[in-house]
A and B are shown apart, each in its own frame.
Chain A
Amino acid sequence: MIALQVTCLVAALLLGVEGARGKAPLWWHLGVVAAVELLLVVQAVVAVVLLVQGDQIMGSAGVFIAYLIGTVLALPLTLLWGLGEPSRWTLVALAVACLVVAVLVLRLDQIWAGV
């Protein structure tokens, strides 16, 4: 899942830079968000399938599920909120959300492994 964290960080950097340059949200920005979201949904589905098949979470299952829901909801909610007033700040807000998701994915790995 390192790849997913790196993807989130790259997306955060990209959107953050675009926002800092004063860009309003463009379609390709939303494409980046959609691509990251797709990966997050895939991760969630894989995690649920593994759990159903009997894999054990070493850490707290409740916290794991909560974080998993958080990774899936964070970007859509931020997008909804950010597009209420489309501006450079929409992109910065999405960049922040990508950073948060990167941290959540890291914690998911740690909880799964029982760190």
Chain B
Amino acid sequence: MAADEPVAERTSHAGRTSRGFGRVLIVVYGVFAVSAFARASVQILRDFSEAPIAYSLSAFAAAVYIVATIALARDARRTATVAVLIELVGVLAVGLLSLVDSVDFPRATVWSEFGQGYGYVPLILPMVGLWWIWHTRVQPPTA
């Protein structure tokens, strides 16, 4: 597919995370931004005291997704990189902790068990995000 793509189309995406495949990526990020925000809101409004750490993490995850979505959509590469890196660390750390220590994580977050409840998309998404930011970089490496 990429091989027969016109060169002009490929280079015009340089530096623009919002173009081409980025359109799709941002839809997925948007879905997670909205659903994580909704989930955190419900958890915190309904029974915050039940699992304050897990619910705070839910809210934090929602904020990260929102920032990543907006940054990718506005071609803010540096902000997007930071947000996606935090997202990657978050899903790995929370994924591990939720398996090891179920006491501090009695309630689910988007990142629990590496995002199993969401088809592991939360685990794959930051990797795809980082690849995409790298793929749309302006300066190709002088290899």
Contacts and interface: CB of A to CB of B under 8 A. Distances in A.
A43 interface: no
Interface residues of B, number: 17
Nearest to B31: A100
Contacts, number: 43
Given A22-B1, A78-B27, A96-B28, A85 B19 contact: yes
B13 to A, nearest CB: 10
Given A22-B1, A100-B31, A89 B38 contact: no
Contacts of B22: 89
The secondary-structure label for the interface of chain A is helix
A10 to B, nearest CB: 19
Nearest to B27: A93
A49 B92 CA distance: 44
Contacts of B19: 85
A20 to B, nearest CB: 8
Q: Which 10 A-B pairs have the closest CB atoms?
A: A89-B23, A93-B27, A93-B24, A92-B24, A93-B23, A66-B38, A89-B24, A100-B31, A96-B27, A78-B27
